[in-house]
Amino acid sequence: MSIIGATAGDLLSRMDRGELSSVEVTTAYLDRIAEFDAKVGAFLSVDRDGALKQAAVVDQKRQARQPLGALAGIPVGVKDVLCTAGQTTTCASRMLQNFVPPYDAHVVTRLKTADAVLIGKTNMDEFAMGSTTENSAFQVTHNPWDLERTPGGSSGGSAAAVSAGMAPLSLGTDTGGSIRQPAGFCSVVGLKPTYGRVSRYGLVAYASSLDQVGPFANDVAGAAILAEVISGHDPRDSTCVNAPVPSYLQNLEQPLAGLRVGIAKEHFVAGLSPEVERTVRTAVDVYKSLGAEIKEVSLPHAKYGVAVYYLIAPCEASSNLARYDGVHYGHRASQFNNMIDMYATSRGEGFGTEVKRRIMLGTYALSAGYYEAYYVKALKVRRLIRQDYDQAFQQIDVLASPVSPNPAFKIGEHLADPLAMYLEDIYTISANLAGLPGISIPAGFTATGMPIGLQLLAAPFEEERLLRAARMFEKATDWHKQQPKL
């Protein structure tokens, strides 16, 4: 059986039985990257030597029967927004093109403790601002299912890497759907944990009240293993919740008895692609055939989600990105007349168009005379959106919905129309505003062969239930077994 395309669980079993070594597994993925990444553009940097050294250390520990971590010898790609000590962390921005962090992000430390093999940093939209991975300052990432289409964003590199068989697992971040939407576009599994479940220490911030780190995998079990490794309390992140992390794998194969699946009537309105709607409704029918009860619920404030998100997130971005001033670290202009000119020129050269747009939106909404009218009002509506979900989850266990209104669109299609791009996030952003866990799982394909994902949401800290519900669907279908032909 091939190494490429195998699940993380299968690779772990084969290494434990001595059928494979971590060096063999890592070499296979590194060779795959060397062969195909020129077409896909998933990675910004690949650490071949470092990865093979890590793999050799894991093999030695396995042979010596020393205790091993949960990901012993498994290659993992890391989104280039997570700090890695001694390696550049660029956020796909010229502003941080030469930034080498002196420390690891908490989740990177967790990966190393779990004996994972870090193979490289994946491409993304600059500072995680975008839905297509076209806003990277360095390269455009292509969808492995159709190289003329976007893989989604902002974690498009991480999703494309798993989809194209260049890594069995990868890490992304999700601020408004940046894990779930690329997972849907690329036919992989993508999990956004509850806000506070995973530490944000060492994650370069976009919007601090919305950002969350999560896994990509080619099956639900792989996502469960990686989610379990990165979850848990970290005192260095004041928003990280000190609560025990259940073993997501332990009960994964146990179907949920009496599962109540909700459908929100507000999700099936004008603007939703007929193929996407048909696929989602067919997926819900699968749950019905498995004994689940299907209930319609209402999310009356869902229609305000896009407006609320595109006020709160840019406001937080405006504040967070103020630190890139050409003084402490990051890009500094080579020519300027005075201190103010140095700030302005450095930021003008270092930031791309979309980042500038969001900084300006946020700075305007936070300015005197507009703060109450925009930012404060958005926070109040955010609370109403969370209350809608709280009420819905009193009646249901998981909420099923589309991931995005359309399948993956062509690269460049929405670049001239930011509003059309923002509306592609309509089904994902509310989970971030409410702090909920969400997952995207492969659910079908369009007539032209493009993937369609199913999104499931659950109440806060119900990742175990979410993963078990996702696994029920995965066992009953074979969409996750389909692979693109590069």
- Give the C-alpha separation, 93 to 346, whole Å: 13
Is residue 261 within 8 A of residue 284, CB to CB? The reply is yes
Q: Which helix (H) or strand (E) holds 456?
A: strand 451-458
Q: For the residues of 257-268, what is the DSSP string, one character each?
A: TT-EEEEEGGGS
Is the confidence at residue 124, as pLDDT, over 80?
yes
* 394 vs 392: CA distance, rounded Å: 5
Give me the domains of the chain, ranges plus CATH numbers: 1-486 (3.90.1300.10)
Phi then psi dihedrals of residue 202, to 5 deg? 85, 0
Looking up tokens 């000590």 gives 85
- Mean pLDDT over the full length of the chain: 97
Nearest Cα neighbor of 474 from 172, 179, 154, 224 is 224
The string over 131-169, giving b where at least 16 C-beta atoms fall within 10 Å of a residue's C-beta and e elsewhere, is: bbbbbbbbbbbbbbbbeebbbbbbbbbbbbbbbbbbbbb
Q: Do 15 and 96 form a contact (C-beta atoms < 8 A)? A: no
CB burial of 337-356 (b: ≥16 within 10 Å; e: otherwise) equals eeeeebbebbbeebbbebbb
Q: How far apart are CA 186 and CA 407, in angstroms?
A: 10
Secondary structure (DSSP) of 431-483: HHHHT--EEEEEEEE-TTS-EEEEEEEESTT-HHHHHHHHHHHHHH--GGG--
Q: Which pLDDT band holds residue 405 (cuts at 50, 70, 90)?
A: very high
Cβ–Cβ under 8 Å, residues 137 and 99: no
What per-residue confidence (pLDDT) applies to 270?
A: 87
Q: Please tell me whether residue 443 adopts helix, strand or coil conformation.
A: strand
pLDDT at residue number 418: 87
Tell me how far apart the alpha carbons of residues 116 and 228 are, in angstroms, rounded to a whole number: 13
Nearest-angstrom CA–CA distance, 445 and 481: 12
pLDDT of 249 strictly over 70: yes
Residue 383: CB atoms within 10 A of its CB come to 11
Q: What pLDDT shows up at residue 256?
A: 94
Confidence label for 415 from pLDDT (cuts 50, 70 and 90): confident
Q: Are 259 and 397 in contact (CB under 8 A)?
A: yes
Angle between helices 22-40 and 48-63 (to 10 degrees): 160
- Residues with Cβ within 8 Å of 205's Cβ and at least 6 positions away in sequence, in order, are 211, 316, 320
- For 286-305, what is each residue's pLDDT tens digit? 999 999 999 999 999 999 99
Q: How far apart are alpha carbons 470 and 261 in whole angstroms?
A: 11
Q: Are 193 and 179 in contact (CB under 8 A)?
A: no
Measuring CA to CA, which residue among 236, 274, 246 is closest to residue 462? Answer: 246
Tokens, residue 188: 């992989």
Length of the chain: 486
CA distances (Å), origin 53, targets 57, 165, 272, 273, 395: 6, 21, 48, 47, 51
pLDDT of residue 329: 82
Cis status of the peptide bond prior to 154, with omega within 30 of 0 = yes
- The span from the CA of 130 to the CA of 133, in Å, is 7
pLDDT in tens, 48-81: 999 999 999 999 999 999 999 999 999 999 999 9
CA distances from 141 to 1, 38, 153, 348, 472 (A): 29, 10, 9, 24, 32
For residue 479, the 8-state DSSP code is G
Residue 198: pLDDT over 90 = yes
Structure tokens that stand for 168 in this block = 């069995």
Residue 193 sits at the vertex; the CA angle it makes with 188 and 198, to the nearest 5 degrees, is 120
- pTM here is 0.97
Dihedral over alpha carbons 19, 22, 25, 31 (to 10 degrees): -140
- Residue 393: pLDDT above 80? yes
Q: Give 351-365 pLDDT, tens digit per residue.
A: 999 999 999 999 999
pLDDT of 1 above 80? no
Report the catalytic residues. 79, 154, 178
Whether the pLDDT of residue 168 is over 80: the answer is yes
